Amino acid sequence: MGDDPVLYQIRVDGHLGPILMTAFPAFVSEQQGGETVLTGLLPDAAALFGVLFEIESLGLDLLEVRRVRPPLHQDLGPPRAGPAKCATEPSAIEGRCSVSTEQQETLDAILRQSAFPVDSGVEEQRRLLRELTSAQPLPAEVTVESAELGGVAVAGITVDGVEPRHVVLYFHGGVYVLGDAFSSAGLASQVGRRADAKVVSVDYRLAPEHPYPAAVDDALAVYEALLEDGVAPSDIVLAGDSAGGGLAVATLVNARDHGLPLPAAAYLMSPYADLTLAGASIDTKRKADPLLSRELLEPRVTDYTAGQDASLGLISPVFADLSGLPPLLIQVGSHEVLLDDAVRLAQQAAGADVEVILDVTPGVPHVFQAYGPLLDEATAALDRAGQFLAARLTGAERVTG
């Protein structure tokens, strides 16, 4: 991770008085029309995410984040004026608005600063991830409670004002060795909010301490427990990011093979679906991806597979028989080495007569949906996912009602 402080300019709607400014001690403020511009040095990406989530928790409308590139002695000029919201639909490569392009460049720079060193081990990567996620407080309206289902630890996530008529069974990312259900609650809650659902996020066991099939077993146990508790499969959707996306598909395949009724749909964000790392984009997108690389992924594959064949369908769902699965929405960015995992997974599903939508957003990184405060495309993609999930849940109600 980079050690040099970075100068940021952050625009928010409205005027911040002296009391609100106490929440941002690292910044100086300037009023420009009906907006406030905050300018300050931050030591790392974790600090920036902390500021952005503080802005969100205070109910302020974030308009723009700029990573100021010139040296401090140069005249930086005022922040670029104009509305920040422009990515309501997947952007075409040509005609993409300049605000969105600058957001993408800013996020890319931030992520490169916070990327794991290639030679880092599991414990160091876990520590660095904890530092990053600990700086991202949950919105005040999100509640997370520890629970257990099927003998597996889970996080129950609810959003004030959302009447949960359904359940999102969520699987966090982290290449099967990092993260937990609680640190991913922010993104999971965004999915639940849009699906009018309570989220049950599975705190599955991690490798290398618990290699395959521990995560797969835990995921199926929680799904079975939901069914045994009386939740109708038509009221359940699966969702996951990165490894969690791959695990969601593996859970569908596993549930089908165990003769269980399947949920209404699944939503996969940048699924890590081929642990053989055979997709062409693992190499062709190396320079474009600010986070992941073959060199970072290969040691973690060994941690998880522990001598098992990485091409097994429950490890790498791109090689699984996907017939009979419910509708899938697969979202991925064009600036990630796992692009081909998503593309090939969609092809595998389509070849098995599964209803599938492949939604590729250009110019954005791995699990870009997690960066809503920084990136318009993140909110737009989550909104599309919410529409997809709501339609499948409503459709399942009509069929079973």
Active site residues per annotation = 242, 336, 366
Torsion-angle region of 151 (φ positive above 0: left; ψ -120 to 50: alpha; else: beta): left
Q: What is the DSSP string of 40-70?
A: EEESSHHHHHHHHHHHHHTT--EEEEEE--S
Alpha helices by DSSP H, 196-318: 214-228, 243-257, 281-284, 294-305
Measured between alpha carbons, how far is 263 from 238 in angstroms, rounded to an integer?
7
Choose among 143, 244, 236: nearest CA to 195: 236
Buried b (16+ CB within 10 A) or exposed e, 173-201: bbbbbbbbbbbbbbbbbbbbbbbbbbbbb
Choose among 257, 258, 279: nearest CA to 323: 257
Residues in CB range of 258: below 8 A, 6 or more apart: 220
